[in-house]
Amino acid sequence: MRVLRTLFVALTVVMGLLGAQDAHAQDVATDCGPPLLPQMCVDFDASRSVDPAAGELVYRWQMGDSTTLTGLTISHCYKRRARYQVVLEVLMPATGEVRPAQKTFEVDLITQPVINFNLPATTVHVGQALTFDALDSGLPTCQNVYYIWDFRDGGTQQGHRTEHTFRKAGRFAVRLSLRGYGPGNCAASHCATQEVVVVP
């Protein structure tokens, strides 16, 4: 019986594409982009582990959430932010041999930073009160996180949830900044912008 080569499996966490900032937004900081949403999907690629001499192989992935997938390359989206252990088993149909736990991988969907806030409306009127909520934004690796709002009209606020009223017409790239403090790999700061158009 031929011995399987040691498998090399590449793990890629699917990252959302950050779109370009609106060219019409005024005074947008170059280091801020659109909201950074939770990334719930992963890709696995075992194609570089194929050993033709071993014959036909079946790659079976236990995704850690009661999902089982088969194939050289697979994609999976989790429904809940958590830590998962993915286990790869290799089967040899010709002999019935199963190599359990050929590879294991840790998928961590908890510690990734999330920067996201609701936009009550993209177009509002001068004097209209708006409520802004940071939703599930957070820096999980930090002990203390401060939420700082800059409405780009001279007004600023702090807090996870806040209200603001624009007193003049224009286009304003509302910025939410998260400032994190803590030891280790605490992400010091992140920010995101969304544009609000204020009409008379």
Which of 59, 15, 69 lies closest to 41, judged by CA?
A: 15
pLDDT recorded at residue 182: 81
7 by Cβ neighbours in 10 Å (0-12 / 13-18 / 19+) ranks as middle
The rounded mean pLDDT for the chain is 81
- Domain positions in the chain: 39-108, 113-199
pLDDT recorded at residue 31: 57
**How does pLDDT run across 131-172, given as a tens digit for each residue?**
999 998 999 888 889 999 999 999 999 999 999 999 999 999
Pick the CATH number of 113-199 from 1.20.1270.360, 2.60.40.10, 1.10.150.530, 3.10.129.10: 2.60.40.10
**How does pLDDT run across 25-49, given as a tens digit for each residue?**
333 344 577 888 888 999 998 887 6
Q: Specify the higher pLDDT residue, 59 or 19.
A: 59
pLDDT recorded at residue 133: 96
When mean pLDDT is compared across 16-20, 81-85, 173-177, the lowest value belongs to 16-20
pLDDT recorded at residue 23: 30
The backbone torsions φ and ψ at residue 93, rounded to the nearest 5 degrees and listed phi first, read -55, -30
pLDDT at 82 over 60: yes
User: And the tokens for 22?
Assistant: 């609106």
Q: d(Cα 195, Cα 200) in Å, to the nearest integer?
A: 17
pLDDT recorded at residue 53: 66
User: And the tokens for 142?
Assistant: 């930090």
Q: Specify the higher pLDDT residue, 142 or 97.
A: 142
Residue range 39-108 forms a domain whose CATH class is mainly beta
Instruction: Tell me the β-bridge partners of 104.
Output: 87
Task: Say what the pTM is.
Answer: 0.66
According to the 3-state scheme, what is the secondary structure of the chain?
CCCCCCCCCEEEECCCCCCCCCCCCCCCCCCCECCECCCCEEEEECHHHCCHHHCCCEEEEECCCCCEEECCEEEEECCCCCEEEEEEEEEECCCCEEEEEEEEEEEECCCCCEECCCCCCCEEECCCEEEEECCCCECCCCCEEEEEEECCCCCEEECCEEEEECCCCEEEEEEEEEEEECCCCCCCEEEEEEEEEEEC
pLDDT recorded at residue 62: 93
Locus of tokens 């286990």: 87
Q: d(Cα 168, Cα 197) in Å, to the nearest integer?
A: 10
What's the mean pLDDT in 52-65? 83
**How does pLDDT run across 177-200, given as a tens digit for each residue?**
999 888 777 777 789 999 999 999
